[in-house]
Amino acid sequence: MEIQFSVLSSQFSAFSFQISARRFALRSFAAAGMATLLLVAGCRQDMQDQPKMMPQRGSEMFADHRGARPQVLNTVGRDQLHEDSYFYTGVVQGANGYRQELNVMPFPVTMEVLKRGQERFNIYCTPCHSRVGNGLGEIVQRGYKPAANLHDQVRLSQPISHYFYVMSHGYGAMPDYSAQLAPADRWAVAAYIRALQLSQAATPQDVPAGVPVESLKNIAAQQGHAEFAEPWALPATAIQAYPHIASEGTPGMAPANPADPAIKIPASKPAPAAAK
């Protein structure tokens, strides 16, 4: 009887142990889950509050309370070593101390460079200067200030590094293209402008003897577009925001039709001269 009881009791306790083991497993699973949750939340808090610099925020760490630190004096950061300053600026210091532009490329112009320049020019410059560089691109045809004609005497006589400088800093109504064009690309475009200038003023003597040369006029006529060989004019739909003011040197022109009520001329500007 005793034995029986003890067997029974041991069976019973084994059963109850089984139950409590299951409960324990469940509880410890829940506890582990909670702990993980707490841990994760705690982690995030730690990283959130860790000492670090936020852009443009103050900091108690430095005496001047600036989070953004000035560069350590007399150090050169990565990509800051611009030893060839002409390559990066397009100017040298002239004898008089002022910046001076040169008619010199900082690296040899290969066919590859010209092709790259042509591609970049066609992407970034043609909207205003047009593919041939006459300054009457699509945007100008819709009212932007006429861009410089790269074939007029002023532009032809500018040194090549002037083009680099204009691309780097903008010029008058023209924005700068330093963000879009790395220095090497700006030089490639400048070289291509020279090629463009040559191409637009080419004569039959410029091609090797014996190579047949056909005039643009003939080619345009053959293709049924004789007008392509004529000098471009802005279409009558071109609306200029400002009339041509000779004293300001703006190369703009009077609105296509000053009588058109759709064309509003700002009151602060003089009314356009009567169409000549």
- Name the site residues for ligand HEC (rule: CB under 6 A): 124-125, 127-129, 139, 144-145, 147-148, 154-155, 163, 166-167, 171-174, 177, 189
Least Cβ distance, residue 215 to ligand HEC (angstroms): 28
Least Cβ distance, residue 263 to ligand HEC (angstroms): 20
Residues in the chain: 276
Are 178 and 161 in contact by the 8 Å Cβ rule? The answer is no
Our CB check for ligand HEC shows the closer of 177 and 242 to be: 177
Our CB check for ligand HEC shows the closer of 137 and 255 to be: 137
Least Cβ distance, residue 77 to ligand HEC (angstroms): 27
Phi, psi of 186 (to 5 degrees): -65, -40
Are 148 and 129 in contact by the 8 Å Cβ rule? The answer is yes
Enclosing H/E stretch for 13: helix 2-49
E strand segments, 81-152:
91-93, 99-101
Least Cβ distance, residue 268 to ligand HEC (angstroms): 18
Our CB check for ligand HEC shows the closer of 213 and 233 to be: 233
Our CB check for ligand HEC shows the closer of 75 and 153 to be: 153
Enclosing H/E stretch for 11: helix 2-49
- Residue in the shown chain whose Cβ atom is closest to ligand HEC: 172
Q: How far apart (Å, rounded) are the C-alpha atoms in residues 23 and 21? A: 5
Our CB check for ligand HEC shows the closer of 148 and 272 to be: 148
Least Cβ distance, residue 163 to ligand HEC (angstroms): 5
Identify which of 172, 175, 194, 191 has the alpha carbon closest to the alpha carbon of residue 124. Answer: 175
Least Cβ distance, residue 131 to ligand HEC (angstroms): 12
Least Cβ distance, residue 165 to ligand HEC (angstroms): 8
Phi, psi of 191 (to 5 degrees): -65, -40
Q: 60: which 2 tokens? A: 């108690």
Please report, to the nearest 10 degrees, the dihedral formed by the alpha carbons of residues 153, 158, 162, 166 taken in order: -10
Q: How far apart (Å, rounded) are the C-alpha atoms in residues 122 and 188? A: 12
Our CB check for ligand HEC shows the closer of 53 and 139 to be: 139
Our CB check for ligand HEC shows the closer of 129 and 255 to be: 129
Q: Which residues contact 218 (CB under 8 A, 6 or more apart)?
A: none
